[in-house]
């Protein structure tokens, strides 16, 4: 299968990025060094091309009711120009995808979904949208580019390109307006790094122009393009879930510590069963841990107790570039999930000592 390109693929290649297939797209995994790119976002400003992400518009008087049905968080809590992290529960106790819901107004929403799940999500939501009155869905994924400009210096750099006072856009809020000479750019106070900044939704036709202007504006700030490699280490230092690793069709939002976006004051797909699970109590829980012994946890490694009994499995793991030791997450038997509990990670033929720790692992200075 031919890999899809974003509007910026040729630029990444010119920059000498290592390109890898990801969710059907050819995407930059790193330009120079994972460590350096990671550090750039933590201390300065970096730009990710995440145009592979999917966007669906949901419009009409029935839009809110549809979203209340398919998402686990409470859409009625949103005001105009606010966004919300949420998930699409399936009817088997698992998660179809995690996503962000943007409210433009009471009859206009945008859903931002994972690239690898665009078709799955579309078909899933359509089951509930079909035959419903007053709601229209449109998949605009192939028309929109998405840049995440992240880091403590992001606001200062981006402010040079717009008259909108960016300091007024709070976390998980957004404004649609003129940016870098382009009208109707969505400037969103989101990102998945824990270092602040914005995400910009831009029409493909002007994506290259906007990308170049951002780099010009950031030249004196040491701005750099950042690959998916650093994106993964940044999100993992914050303990953020990655669909496909930490959550999937078989993991319950309650097990994944996504109870805070699972609102039982409304009915939604599988809410009855999830409510029962909440009342009965879960038996395993997605938990963060840090390595005490030298070693790096990786997806799929067994987690054991001191006697070597398997008590869980690693879903994400890495060397933390900010902290200098191995960190990870995994589903662990509930009785071993209290912070400070000693656990062991089976790294090749050895049992390496680790300790349960509450995320985020990295705390901004």
Least distance (Å) between residue 232 CB and another protein:
7
118 φ/ψ angles, rounded to the nearest 5 degrees: -55, -50
Contact residue for another protein among 204, 248, 296, 304 (CB under 8 A):
296
260 φ/ψ angles, rounded to the nearest 5 degrees: -70, -15
Tell which positions 99-158 bind another protein, by CB under 8 A. Answer: none
Contact residue for another protein among 252, 277, 318, 337 (CB under 8 A):
318
**List of residues 6+ apart from 315 with CB closer than 8 A:** 245, 246, 286, 299, 328, 329, 330, 331
Helix runs in 44-139, H state only? 63-70, 118-129
Q: Which is nearer to another protein, 120 or 298 (CB)?
A: 298
Whole-number Å distance between alpha carbons of 248 and 257 = 13
Rule CB under 8 A: say whether 55 interacts with another protein: no
Whole-number Å distance between alpha carbons of 112 and 335 = 35
Q: Which residues pair with 344 in a beta bridge?
A: 304, 353
Query: Could you tell me if 89 and 269 are in contact, meaning their C-beta atoms sit under 8 angstroms apart?
Result: yes
Whole-number Å distance between alpha carbons of 65 and 81 = 18
Per CB under 8 A, which region of 143-151, 204-212, 245-253, 314-322 contacts another protein? 314-322
Least distance (Å) between residue 296 CB and another protein:
5
Tell which positions 327-356 bind another protein, by CB under 8 A. Answer: 348
Per CB under 8 A, which region of 25-33, 202-210, 258-266, 353-361 contacts another protein? 25-33
Contact residue for another protein among 238, 319, 351, 360 (CB under 8 A):
319
Whole-number Å distance between alpha carbons of 44 and 26 = 26
Q: Which is nearer to another protein, 38 or 224 (CB)?
A: 38
Least distance (Å) between residue 319 CB and another protein:
5
Rule CB under 8 A: say whether 33 interacts with another protein: yes
Least distance (Å) between residue 63 CB and another protein:
39
The contact pattern for another protein, residues 203-242, with x = CB under 8 A and - = no contact, is --------------------------x--xx---------
Query: Could you tell me if 103 and 116 are in contact, meaning their C-beta atoms sit under 8 angstroms apart?
Result: no
Least distance (Å) between residue 171 CB and another protein:
28
Q: Where does the chain show beta strands of DSSP type E?
A: 18-22, 25-30, 46-49, 54-59, 82-89, 95-105, 108-113, 136-139, 144-150, 174-179, 182-188, 197-203, 224-225, 284-291, 302-304, 310-319, 326-333, 342-347, 350-356
Whole-number Å distance between alpha carbons of 188 and 28 = 23
Rule CB under 8 A: say whether 185 interacts with another protein: no
The phi-psi region of residue 119 (left if phi > 0; otherwise alpha if psi is between -120 and 50; otherwise beta) is: alpha
Rule CB under 8 A: say whether 34 interacts with another protein: yes
Contact residue for another protein among 295, 312, 328, 330 (CB under 8 A):
295
Per CB under 8 A, which region of 64-72, 207-215, 247-255, 291-299 contacts another protein? 291-299
Rule CB under 8 A: say whether 294 interacts with another protein: yes
Q: Please report, as ranges, the residues that interact with another protein according to CB under 8 A.
A: 18, 29-30, 33-35, 38, 229, 232-233, 294-296, 298, 318-319, 321, 348
């Amino acid at each position: 299968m031919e890999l899809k390109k974003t509007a910026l693929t040729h630029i990444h290649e010119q920059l000498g990025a290592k390109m890898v297939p990801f969710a059907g797209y050819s995407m930059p995994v790193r330009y120079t060094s994972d460590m350096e790119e990671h550090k750039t976002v933590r201390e300065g400003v970096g730009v990710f091309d995440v145009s592979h992400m999917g966007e669906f518009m949901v419009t009409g008087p029935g839009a809110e009711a549809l979203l209340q049905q398919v998402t686990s968080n409470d859409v009625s809590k949103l005001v105009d120009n606010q966004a919300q992290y949420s998930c699409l529960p399936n009817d088997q106790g698992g998660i179809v995808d995690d996503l962000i819901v943007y409210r433009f107004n009471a009859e206009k929403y945008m859903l931002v979904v994972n690239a690898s799940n665009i078709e799955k999500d579309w078909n899933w939501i359509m089951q509930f949208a079909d035959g419903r009155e007053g709601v229209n869905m449109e998949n605009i994924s192939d028309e929109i580019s998405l840049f995440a400009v992240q880091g403590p210096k992001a606001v200062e750099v981006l402010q040079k390109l717009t008259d909108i006072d960016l300091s007024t856009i709070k976390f998980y809020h957004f404004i649609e307006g003129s940016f870098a000479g382009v009208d109707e750019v969505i400037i969103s106070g989101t990102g998945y790094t824990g270092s602040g900044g914005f995400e910009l939704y831009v029409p493909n036709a002007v994506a290259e122009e906007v990308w170049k202007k951002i780099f010009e504006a950031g030249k004196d700030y040491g701005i750099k393009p950042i690959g998916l490699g650093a994106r993964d280490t940044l999100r993992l230092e914050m303990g953020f879930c990655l669909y496909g690793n930490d959550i999937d069709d078989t993991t319950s939002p309650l097990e994944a510590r996504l109870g805070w976006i699972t609102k039982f004051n409304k009915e939604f797909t599988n809410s009855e069963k999830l409510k029962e699970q909440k009342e009965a109590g879960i038996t395993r829980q997605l938990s963060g841990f840090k390595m005490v012994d030298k070693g790096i946890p990786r997806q799929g490694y067994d987690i054991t107790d001191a006697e070597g009994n398997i008590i869980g499995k690693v879903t994400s793991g890495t060397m933390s570039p900010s902290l200098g030791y191995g960190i990870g997450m995994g589903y662990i038997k509930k009785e071993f999930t209290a912070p400070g509990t000693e656990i062991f990670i089976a790294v090749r033929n050895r049992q390496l000592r680790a300790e349960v720790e509450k995320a985020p692992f990295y705390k901004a200075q």
